[in-house]
Amino acid sequence: MEIIIVGCGKVGRTLAEQLQEEETDLTLIDENPDKLALVADHVDALNIEGNGASISVLKEAGIDTADLLIAVTGSDELNLLCCLVAQKTGHCHTVARVRNPVYFSERSFLKERLGLTTIINPEYDAAREIARLFSVPTALKVDSFSGGQIELLKFKILPEYGMDGLRISSINDRFHSDILVCGIENKDGVTIPGGNDVLHNGDSVSFLAAANTAKDFFKKIGLKSAQIRSAIIVGGGPITYYLAQRLIATNVAVKIIEKNKQKCETLSDLLPDATIICGDGTNKDLLMEEGLQNTGSFITLTNMDEENIFLSLYAKSRSKAKTVAKVNSLNFDDIIESLDIGSIIYPKYITADHILQYVRAMQNTIGSNVETLFHILDGKAEALEFIIRDQSKARVLGIPLARLRLKPNLLVGCIYRDGKVKIPRGQDSIQLGDRVIIVTSQKGLCDINDILE
């Protein structure tokens, strides 16, 4: 597959790094030679210096034969123009990053009239992921499948849960909860476990379950999950706007602390039901005055990773709030993950997953496309959702899972059939119409048949 990426900023670089692991030929376009040089150190791609909306530049990049163009420059207008020119010049699918709330609210119109395949908004997607955490506040991370019927949740084992030394195979008998542990992260690394693997205090554990089952499991191990009724957000950027909208709609009282006066005035106009405070969110006295010690959640969304991390650590020391920190840089993600700062949101990862899901679906012609894709376990594994649509082409149908020759480090984690969630056992089989969740460290799965050796 031939893919052109216009814009080599943070999102463009992350996309290029992810997509080079697929079966793709990449071409990168940017007007800034320094940005191209920075990507060239990590990505094997054709680099072109120029304006991505220029017909001559797109011709040089191979727009005539390209399968997909992704425009992720810092300008919404340029991204839309790049896609429009690509549509008129070539025959490829087009994806535009649109961050402006006004344009994004009109995305259906833009897609229809400009012929865009899809529109992405990293800030909107990040806000949606943070809001999802509010449904299960005790989880460090929540990913959902099958319209929210299935959840993949991550939590850290503490001594009071009584799970130290417990075998994976004994969890369901001990707690009478139908869950599937599909990932363990600790100081020794990341694993997709089998039934004989043992849990230890301090492990970060990811598991699949029906949404109601997940909440019931947390209660049984002693993780109290009271509904969050208040939130303090530090930082007044686009993520804050989208997140505040969602939280206010669910009757969460929202306070936003932002030191830029103009941003405060804009947020006051856009979010009349939120409390906007013009001040320095790093001021400890201000935080305490605004009720940090009693708030249900504390979310740091400034443009400084260091501020977000340290503010979350401070909030953990002064309150029992659910803490969420936005992190842009991935250079020290292993150190960041080891800190007890609560949930961490990586907007670039979220966007890359969304695009990768689409690319996988484009590559597949068999009839069980990738519907949902998340990178999990520190980016070392994937959780994918397939819908089985074609009985004649899916070689896994009707065969007990125990008899399938599956690839190593791969779990058939969950099946959604006829409105019911099932954690499959060895004698269960995949059927036509199923939604199937696969967890694997094997990269590049495009179809359900790819789970076989």
DSSP-derived secondary structure letter, 231 = E
User: What pLDDT band is residue 447 in, cutting at 50, 70 and 90?
Assistant: confident
Per-residue pLDDT at 61 exceeds 60: yes
Least confident among 106-115, 123-132, 304-313, 433-442:
106-115
- In angstroms, how far is the first alpha carbon of the chain from the final one? 23
pLDDT given at position 352: 84
Describe the crossing of helices 261-270 and 238-249 by its angle, rounded to 10 degrees.
Answer: 30
Over residues 24-50, the pLDDT tens digits come to 899 999 999 999 998 988 899 999 999
Measuring CA to CA, how many Å separate 34 from each of 8, 72, 228, 407? 10, 17, 45, 41
Out of 1.10.3720.10, 3.20.20.70, 3.30.70.1450, 3.40.50.620, which CATH number does the structure's domain 137-221 have? Answer: 3.30.70.1450
Helix (H) or strand (E) holding 213: helix 211-221
pLDDT given at position 366: 47
- Name the superfamily (CATH) of residues 2-120: NAD(P)-binding Rossmann-like Domain (3.40.50.720)
pLDDT given at position 252: 96
Over residues 320-341, the pLDDT tens digits come to 999 999 998 756 666 776 678 8
> For a pLDDT cut of 90, what percent of the chain falls above it?
69
Over residues 356-408, the pLDDT tens digits come to 888 877 765 545 578 888 988 878 899 999 999 877 678 899 999 999 999 99
Tally of CB atoms within 10 A around 222: 12
Averaged pLDDT for residues 70-78: 95
| b/e code 20-31 from CB counts within 10 Å (16+ = b) | eebebbbbbbbb
Q: Where in the chain is the domain with CATH 3.40.50.720?
A: 2-120, 229-345
State the number of CA atoms in the 13 A half-sphere of 43 facing the CB. 27
- Name the superfamily (CATH) of residues 352-451: Regulator of K+ conductance, C-terminal domain (3.30.70.1450)
Q: Where in the chain is the domain with CATH 3.30.70.1450?
A: 137-221, 352-451
Per-residue pLDDT at 297 exceeds 50: yes
Averaged pLDDT for residues 213-228: 87
Over residues 152-192, the pLDDT tens digits come to 999 999 999 999 999 999 999 999 999 999 999 988 889 99
Asked if residues 160 and 219 have their Cβ atoms less than 8 Å apart, the reply is: no
Domain 229-345 CATH assignment equals 1.25.40.10: no
